[in-house]
Structure 1
């Protein structure tokens, strides 16, 4: 069984990757300040270019459309929650398949993990949108499959593969002496895994799992390309409703970025704290 993938990289590494090869999300307070500054400076630039009271009107436009944008952002959060939940459950089983003594099961789990881990997320979204039907008939009951639900399934697949790598890496990070000690005490392999190894490895899986969720949340904007009315799609509709005014482009999309920052910064901050606490040195 291959163990060439690092579990938790050293804290001093210049480029840090976790969660199955995904880069660790690094956010700082100045990112939020920069986004807020973009909104204010672009509004002031529009005011200077037009010679009119645009500065106040840009902020008024943002305030007027905020409820709609927040409703779209809520759909992004819903998609991220459901995709992460489905991907975590499936990825946990797939990750256990990566460490099973059974060679056929381990090989099949490895093939599935590598395929969905390396497949472009947008391609998986397109596959789900066009592959899954719009309606499912179960007897006399018709179940609708809206685009956002298909996006949930499409995003859950790469999450599943990355969670599988997190589980594999977390289990492999436990010193082999733990297995040997449990075996000497008469524990079966299943008891060793569930009672000894997994309780110790869960805390090491948590930081990359949280990092993966933060990355997934920002990636939900891909759903706009396949017709889901999330916050980026609604931002485009706001621009169209306001007459596609060029000076609104930067403030509106910077406002959307600010929403993502406010949501993901606490996750990124907690992830860094947990990394320092549960850091494993090579």
Structure 2
């Protein structure tokens, strides 16, 4: 995860677009120097988040600028993706198309839920049609199900498996399983249930560390943010040592 600093207009914006870009590129270089398998860029510091219907043009513009610069330093064989909080799935597709990125992380793909930002409605039909309209069908859409930082009481009668099957039926390219919050480990039983009942690739979207990575080897991929930061805290800078240690553990497992 490359957690971009707060964008213009967000309460935590620091006053310099160039600093946002430079920091994102520096973190990308740390990851590349440690041979990570992919890069995912996110406007994590735009707290408090707003729903995509309230975005100004600057959100898409700044993300495009950041991803353009990151694209210049990432080798072609390293896949890159985008998530724009909150629920900026069409915006993310547009940026990915403009920057030749490979995938997006989508919130609210199937079934509504209540997030910190309010009601998030399902948009699979809208974003898949948008992807078709802009000739971006080579861009994969990986979708959160029963996502973290959210209440799912309005869909409490719909199981995780049923949600995953709905995502598959609605043409998701892969499902993302998380814990309840940022840095919180995903439930291993839920991973096992998904492996046995879903035909989609499964990505673990939170809580993977050096200590527990062996527990999640049945997943196809991991999205790692907090564990790679100094002291394991999402607001801190990426730590070269923590990334290196994790990749060394992963290399040992792979061999």
Report the TM-score range of the alignment, normalised by the length of the smaller protein: under 0.3
Higher relative contact order (CA 8 A, sep 6+): 1
**Which structure dedicates a bigger proportion of its chain to helix?**
1
Return the TM-score normalized by structure 2. Answer: 0.25
Structure 1 or 2: more strand by fraction = 2
Question: Radius of gyration: which is bigger?
Answer: 1
